């Protein structure tokens, strides 16, 4: 394991998209300290809403025309599989590896979002290597994230500017994905640590130590190694994260 140079990591923070507040000046600011429920917020409403989102048929193949019910059934199986994968990512904050406790993160929507995005990135990194079906699954997991965010914001009392807030979250999501991709492609723990420092710990948190960064970088590397080579498209044998 390489020793992370904290000074270097901080200098590298100018690369990629720095973490922004999820709340801006909207009414959500008042809910920053709101303790979020451990279960995915969409759990009760997911199935009917997901079917509404994904109900528009597109005849992309002859099979869709000749066996529409079979195609729709397969589509719904993929949506359900994406939901299971997403739950595995979103629950690492509270349950699973309990990163909230391990890294003394704030118990709010912002911290949950950043940790969930990190795990979606790790999961999607392997999915993207598994052809068109893997890329499609990535999109389904992302769609589930957006649905969960919308419900969580509504439960937090946000009634206005939902479109603007969601748009900002999407921008933050892609900025973080690109930052993590850079650390992975370069094989640099310093670059990866910089991205984690900005997005997970918040670059303004002076209590973060080099040891904290080393532990989180090691956690990410172990999970990536665990997922590497796994068939994440096997609907009968879903793959989750290691409990460390």
| 85 vs 227: CA distance, rounded Å | 12
Contact criterion met (CB below 8 Å) for 24 and 152: no
Contact criterion met (CB below 8 Å) for 110 and 172: no
pLDDT tens digits for range 165-192 = 989 999 999 999 999 999 988 888 899 9
| 211 vs 217: CA distance, rounded Å | 10
| 152 vs 45: CA distance, rounded Å | 12
Contact criterion met (CB below 8 Å) for 110 and 126: no
pLDDT tens digits for range 49-66 = 333 433 344 334 444 445
Average pLDDT over residues 116-135: 93
The whole-number pLDDT of residue 73 equals 52
**Which tops the pLDDT comparison, 157 or 42?**
157
Average pLDDT over residues 30-44: 44
**Which tops the pLDDT comparison, 67 or 120?**
120
Average pLDDT of the chain is: 75
Q: Which two tokens stand for residue 34?
A: 């709101």
CA angle 37-43-44, nearest 5°? 110
The domain limits of the chain are 6-17+39-227
Of the candidates 154, 168, 143, 171, the one whose C-alpha atom is nearest the C-alpha of residue 86 is 143
CA-CA-CA-CA torsion sign (19, 156, 88, 211): positive
pLDDT at 232 over 70: yes
157 CB contacts (<8 Å, ≥6 apart)? 27, 28, 30, 31
Average pLDDT over residues 100-124: 91
pTM for this one?
0.72
Contact criterion met (CB below 8 Å) for 153 and 91: no
Give start and end residues of each alpha helix (H) in the chain: 6-11, 46-53, 62-66, 68-90, 99-102, 109-127, 131-155, 162-186, 189-199, 210-227
Average pLDDT over residues 17-30: 37
The whole-number pLDDT of residue 56 equals 41
């Amino acid at each position: 394991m390489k020793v992370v140079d904290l000074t270097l990591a901080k200098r590298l923070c100018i690369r990629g998209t720095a973490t922004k507040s999820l709340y801006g000046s909207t009414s959500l600011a008042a809910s920053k300290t709101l303790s979020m429920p451990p279960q995915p917020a969409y759990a009760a409403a997911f199935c009917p809403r997901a079917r509404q989102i994904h109900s528009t048929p597109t005849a992309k193949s002859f099979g869709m025309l000749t066996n529409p019910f079979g195609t729709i059934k397969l589509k719904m199986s993929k949506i359900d599989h994406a939901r299971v994968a997403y739950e595995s990512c979103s629950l690492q904050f509270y349950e699973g590896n309990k990163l909230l406790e391990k890294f003394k993160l704030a118990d709010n929507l912002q911290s949950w979002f950043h940790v969930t995005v990190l795990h979606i990135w790790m999961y999607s990194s392997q999915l993207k290597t598994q052809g068109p079906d893997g890329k499609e699954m990535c999109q389904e997991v992302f769609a589930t994230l957006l649905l969960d965010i919308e419900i969580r914001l509504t439960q937090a009392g946000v009634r206005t500017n939902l479109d603007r807030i969601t748009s900002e979250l999407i921008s933050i999501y892609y900025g973080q994905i690109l930052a993590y991709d850079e650390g992975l492609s370069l094989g640099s723990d310093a670059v990866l640590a910089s991205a984690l420092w900005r997005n997970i710990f918040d670059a303004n948190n002076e209590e973060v130590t080099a040891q904290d960064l080393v532990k989180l970088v090691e956690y990410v590397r172990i999970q990536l190694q665990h997922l590497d080579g796994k068939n994440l498209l096997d609907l009968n044998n879903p793959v989750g994260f290691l409990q460390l």
